[in-house]
Amino acid sequence: MKKKLITFLCALTVFLLAGCLYPDDKRAENQVPYADQLVSVQQAVDQFYSDTGVLPIQTRDQSVIVYQRYPVDFRQLVPRYMQQPPGNSFESGGIYQYVLFNVEEEPEVKLIDLRSQREMNQVQRKLNDYMRRHTYAPVKDILDVGLFSLDYEKLGYNEEPLVPSPYSDTYLPLIFTNTGEVMIDYRLELNRVLQQNEGNVEYKPGEDIRDLLLGDSPFVPAYSIPYTIDSKGEPIYDMSLPNQYELGESE
């Protein structure tokens, strides 16, 4: 655990993130994923687990994808293990939700970037309204079995809505599943990571590659669908893979 914290501290670049979700989100402490805040939550979680034998998490159904399944429950940590939730946390009016990942082996504190939620919720509302009126979705293209891009003009958009990536300064498109959910398309970021690590990626076609985005980043790919690589080593959608896996247990 200590080695991971040291690696994380060395690798984490503190950068400002734009966006507006909450009344206090313009305060600097609500916009930056400070390394010391992540470390303080990690230490509190570790001590809580050492004392109680359980993790301080909110209960989520097992159908929720693993990246979003274990939100940190600060009510169990405050005030004994920390004075208050971090200023950049959702609970304090910030733009990040603290979650645990890899809980079965070595729980790691990670972040969900909530800046995308406003745009996603708006698209979801427009989509739901369209489907109520037409009984079908305004599909533009079929991307994979049960995965589609949308005709945003039919939803009243002049241009395709995009959401900020938690991994770089790029913006990502949205996609739609046959279960009625609007999700984030991380293929651009996966392609970037694959190119940066060309020759060093040990994945094979048919294996979910999303955890490549974790790396030394504090962020998890929330609201994502499974991806694998094709014969050329490029990222592709793969809805045949389970979307509720634990790291290393995708089969």
- Residue 141, SS3 per DSSP: strand
Give pLDDT, residue 17.
35
Higher pLDDT, 6 or 150: 150
**pLDDT one-digit tens code per residue, 29-54:** 555 667 899 999 999 999 999 999 99
Q: In the predicted model, what is the mean pLDDT of residues 97-113? A: 95
Rounded to whole angstroms, the Cα distance separating 30 from 16 reads 10
Rounded to whole angstroms, the Cα distance separating 71 from 173 reads 25
**pLDDT one-digit tens code per residue, 182-216:** 999 999 999 999 999 887 778 899 999 999 999 88
Whether omega for the bond prior to residue 79 falls within 30 degrees of 0, making it cis, is yes
Rounded to whole angstroms, the Cα distance separating 237 from 229 reads 8
User: What number of other Cβ atoms are within 10 A of residue 112's Cβ?
Assistant: 21
Statement: residue 157 has pLDDT above 90 = yes
Give pLDDT, residue 61.
86
Give pLDDT, residue 32.
63
Q: In the predicted model, what is the mean pLDDT of residues 87-98? A: 95
* 36-to-41, 79, 83, 85, 117 alpha-carbon distances in Å: 9, 18, 14, 13, 25
Give pLDDT, residue 98.
98
H/E stretch holding 235: strand 235-237
- Do residues 205 and 228 make contact, with C-beta atoms less than 8 angstroms apart? yes
Domain ranges in the chain are 2-115
Give pLDDT, residue 244.
64
- Which residue is listed with tokens 């002049």? 158
In single-letter form, the type of residue at position 52 comes to T
- Residue 80, SS3 per DSSP: coil
- Do residues 112 and 97 make contact, with C-beta atoms less than 8 angstroms apart? yes
